[in-house]
Chain A
Amino acid sequence: MDLVLDHATKFYGPVIGINNVSCRVAPGITGLLGANGAGKSTLIKLASGQLRPDQGRVLIGRRRAWSTAAKRHLGYSPDLDSFYEDMTGREFVYTMACLYGYPRSEARRRAEEALAEVGMRERASRRLAGCSHGMRQRIKLAQAFVHDPDVLLLDEPLSGIDPGGRREINELLRRFAARGKTILLSSHILVEVENLADSILMIARGRIVASGTLAEVRGLLEDRPLTVEIETGQARRLASLLAEVSDVRSVRIVDETLRVETRNPGRFFPLVGQLVLEHNLPLRRMQAVDAGIDAVFNYLERPGR
């Protein structure tokens, strides 16, 4: 089942949350990437029927996301950390399953299955008030897919989960996607989504600035100019070598550190490695200074890039 945004616009008073967004999220895992305040949460809230678009439509399959019918097909893990704190994890997931109308025995079975999937079966008898952040994240995930939804919306699902836990949850989401389910997963960490998502939606200042498969979006990023700092014992020699490379726009030496601006990061990094090896140069540090996600989004939304 697809999630469709058709010219969706949402205002918060005079502030625009998302601006004329149109996209189709198909079965598989789609990463929704954006800096803080870019509009990720607004998009997810529209898709989960918490908000109504001021213009355009948001559909789950053929139903409007705001409608009750759409919510049968929807699983949602919010980014807020509020629960019925006095319940245990097991009670919470069971109660949420019951709110879909399952008979008690079926709700109990589904709750146990969901808890097992997120690795919480043995620890689910603990009161939620006493659970760690990671455990609470897992419980939130369990309640989101306890009814086997067709569309799963996950708002920052991996925050606070340790690397081992991330691997488990990534596996779980992949299994879920393999069954033809649609997963939209928001994050502001590129690497987090890179390993998991089949396709990417990048949002900045309320607009979709890039979308497509990971390879397509990566292609866009490879052409992006980037400034790189290199610490080496022989800064002048490396500078003279890099000055002859066509993809390098400028080279400066600041306090024995090379500051290189390149047109094509995709080709630049392997080239530096090759030069260092060929000329036996020491390399202490190499770091992109504007590789943060904000810089990526700023580049992607720049007109006529």
Chain B
Amino acid sequence: MPIDNAHYHGWQGSLRSPWLATLALVRVALLQVLRRKLYWIVLALGLAQFFLYWSIIYAVTQLDPPPAARERMLEAFGFSAQPQPGRPSGYILFMERQSVVVMILLAFSGSVLVGSDFRLGSLPFYLSRRIDRRHYIAGKLLAIGAVVSLLTTVPALMLFIEYGMFTSSTDYWIDNWRLPVEVIAYGAVLAATLSVLLVTLSAYLQRLAPIAITWSSLFVLLPLLRSALVRETHNRYWNLIDPWRDMSLVGRLAFGDFDSPFERRLALWALAILSAISAAMLVALVRRVRSVDVVE
């Protein structure tokens, strides 16, 4: 049959940039994760803490005590709505406390969003289009970044908005504009670092169990070892082996402040370590993403 009879016609209009295809990748990736019940269970675990703080902020602001007393009441629950000189704010602490849920959710997402592309051979479906590996990688990184932000940055910002809404004026938001900027900066560091690490590990390990083991070793074991080493050796450089701590320090490097020059030095080291690891991971990822896997 002549090809015309089959109604195959080239697209007559002009094609948009393939970089826009990364948005389609993000959309599909989020749908892939969101349609799974387990994701909602883990998300519910993650949001339990959010609702807890939401309720605490609501209760404390409705009691309407003097500002200092209000802050003390919040601190009793391990939260602080005001900037803390030399220390992370309550919003940053909230994001740090999400770490275990973020870690579990990402282990799952890595296998579903990236590992399965390699394991089940679906990579050619992406790379046979007008997009190449750069667009594929960018799409996957953005998708993982979105998953991270949904559990950390977005709820932290919502808590900030909530606190301001329940006070009698907009002064809280105006006076503390640096707090959401810190949250966004820390969130950006979390999203960027975690997405690069996860996409690369998932591209190589592919299956859920090894991804989960490696991921939990990085994000649960290393903080445990860090805490023991710092406590027992009194050497604060050991903080650098904890990726959560590194990301927190780098987030503060941009907009937060430090209680000592040593902390700032530590943050610069953390920046160097995260940059080196992320760069190495990106190189490894680019080498791994190929449409045809040659088996000996």
Contact = CB atoms under 8 A, between A and B. Distances in A.
Interface of A: 127, 129-130
A130 B296 CA distance: 7
B63 interface: no
Contacts of B213: none
Contacts of A127: 295-296
Interface residues of B, number: 2
Contacts of A130: 295-296
Contacts of A129: 295
5 contacts: A127-B295, A127-B296, A129-B295, A130-B295, A130-B296
B123 to A, nearest CB: 15
B81 to A, nearest CB: 49
Contacts of B295: 127, 129-130
Contacts of B296: 127, 130
Interface of B: 295-296
Nearest to A82: B120
A129 B120 CA distance: 12
Nearest to A131: B295
Nearest 4 A/B pairs, CB to CB: A130-B295, A129-B295, A127-B295, A130-B296
B263 to A, nearest CB: 49
A173 B62 CA distance: 80
A127 B295 CA distance: 8
A212 to B, nearest CB: 36
Nearest to A129: B295
A127 B296 CA distance: 8
B98 to A, nearest CB: 36
B205 to A, nearest CB: 15
A130 B295 CA distance: 5
B296 to A, nearest CB: 7
A269 B103 CA distance: 68
B73 to A, nearest CB: 51
A154 B185 CA distance: 58
A263 B295 CA distance: 55
B186 to A, nearest CB: 42
Nearest to B296: A130
